């Protein structure tokens, strides 16, 4: 199976090894991630102003590339996924926005939301299947107690992202179980880590981050996994006493390929 792949800025720069984990794990599972040519930053955040088009054009270009290849578009960073998924929805539901974007791009074939967008976790669940993933595990997590931390962007807005129940998600916990782990459910798994206010108010960001970690530890977690590089950075930076791991790293470990991957 081949899919179009949008790695995003962080995983091509500061967190290259997390991108390598994603690529090599996909190969083990029979999926080839074909990186889109000449992709640009997704825009970093989806602005809700209807007349703000410029920062969304790179996402539209990525969506067009996936459409033209006849493949679904897979993202691995929750922030990139949020921007691209919301942009795709805007191209479907907002005719004025879609018209402006297409006129800016001056493309021969206007984009109308034709591409199917998956987060890597959705690819594991919906295209590979967690049962098939379980069969590929060679280094099971052996009941290690792990809390899944979703953060803000992976699930919301629920009416657009449509990945899981935004209040009671299961996709990361189901992945952990397929890898042989014990998924710990904690109450603050879908609350903000404070990453977006870290520059403006480091103290408040640290408070939010520590609250998330303390909640996970209180629930019995020995480790936290996340699908957002910024969340991972913020939780670690603010002093988490338990490991905070990107989900592709623990996936690569369970599939037995982590030690073969070097940045």
Q: How many CB atoms lie within 10 A of CB 187?
A: 11
Residue 197: per-residue pLDDT: 83
Helix boundaries (H) for the chain: 16-28, 57-69, 78-93, 95-105, 120-122, 130-136, 158-161, 171-178, 202-218, 229-237, 247-254
Has residue 262 got a pLDDT over 80?
A: no
pLDDT tens across 101-119, in order? 999 999 889 999 999 999 9
pLDDT category of residue 199 using cuts at 50, 70 and 90: confident
Q: Does pLDDT of 69 surpass 80? A: yes
Q: Do residues 174 and 252 share a domain?
A: yes
Q: How far is CA 69 from CA 102, 123, 151, 174, 261, in A?
A: 19, 17, 32, 31, 29
pTM over 0.85: yes
User: CATH code at 181?
Assistant: 3.40.50.11810
126 inside domain: no
In a domain, 130, yes or no: no
71 with 187, same domain: the answer is no
Range of the domain at 92: 2-120
What is the predicted pLDDT for the residue at 263? 58
Question: Would 254 be classed as within a structural domain?
Answer: yes
Q: What is the mean pLDDT of the chain?
A: 95
Last-in-domain residue among 120, 145, 170: 120
Pairing relationship of beta strands 145-149 and 117-119 according to DSSP bridges: unpaired
Is 28 in the same domain as 84? yes
N-terminal to C-terminal alpha carbon distance within the chain: 25
The reply to whether 154 falls in a domain is yes
pLDDT of residue 108: 85
Considering its fold, how many domains does the chain have in total?
Answer: 2
Report pLDDT for 260. 86
Q: What whole-number distance in Å separates Cα of residue 209 and Cα of residue 231?
A: 9
Copy the structure tokens of residue 12: 């091509």
Same domain flag for 202 and 98: no
Is there a contact between 78 and 227 (Cβ–Cβ < 8 Å)? yes
Residue corresponding to tokens 């935004």? 166
User: What pLDDT does 44 receive?
Assistant: 87
Residue 196 has a pLDDT of 77
Cα of 90 vs its chain's centroid, Å:
20
Which one, of 224, 221, 133, lies nearest residue 174 by Cα? 133
Does the pLDDT value for residue 261 go beyond 80?
yes
Question: Among the three residues 89, 120, 151, which one is the final residue of a domain in this structure?
Answer: 120
Task: State pLDDT tens for residues 128-149.
Answer: 999 999 999 999 999 999 999 9
């Amino acid at each position: 199976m081949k899919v179009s792949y949008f790695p995003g800025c962080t995983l091509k720069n500061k967190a290259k090894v997390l991108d390598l984990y994603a690529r090599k794990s996909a190969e083990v599972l029979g999926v080839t991630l074909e990186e889109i040519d000449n992709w640009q930053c997704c825009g970093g955040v989806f602005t809700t102003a209807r007349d703000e088009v410029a920062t969304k054009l790179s996402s539209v270009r990525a969506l067009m590339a996936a459409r033209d290849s006849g493949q679904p578009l897979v993202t691995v960073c929750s922030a990139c996924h949020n921007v691209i998924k919301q942009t795709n929805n805007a191209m479907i539901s907002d005719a004025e926005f879609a018209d402006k974007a297409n006129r800016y791009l001056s493309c021969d074939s206007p984009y109308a939301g034709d591409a199917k967008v998956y987060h890597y976790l959705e690819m594991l669940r919906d295209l590979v299947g967690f049962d098939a993933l379980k069969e590929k595990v060679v280094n099971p997590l052996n009941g290690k107690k792990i809390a899944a931390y979703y953060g803000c962007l992976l699930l919301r807005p629920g009416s657009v992202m449509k990945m899981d129940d935004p209040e009671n998600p299961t996709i990361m916990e189901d992945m952990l179980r397929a890898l042989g782990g014990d998924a710990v459910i904690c109450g603050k798994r879908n609350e903000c880590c404070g990453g977006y206010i870290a520059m403006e108010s480091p103290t408040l960001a640290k408070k939010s981050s520590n609250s998330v970690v303390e909640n996970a530890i209180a629930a019995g977690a020995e480790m936290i996994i996340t699908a957002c590089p910024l969340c991972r950075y913020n939780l670690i930076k603010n002093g988490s006493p338990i490991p905070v791991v990107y989900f592709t790293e623990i996936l690569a470990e369970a599939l037995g390929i982590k030690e073969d991957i070097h940045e």
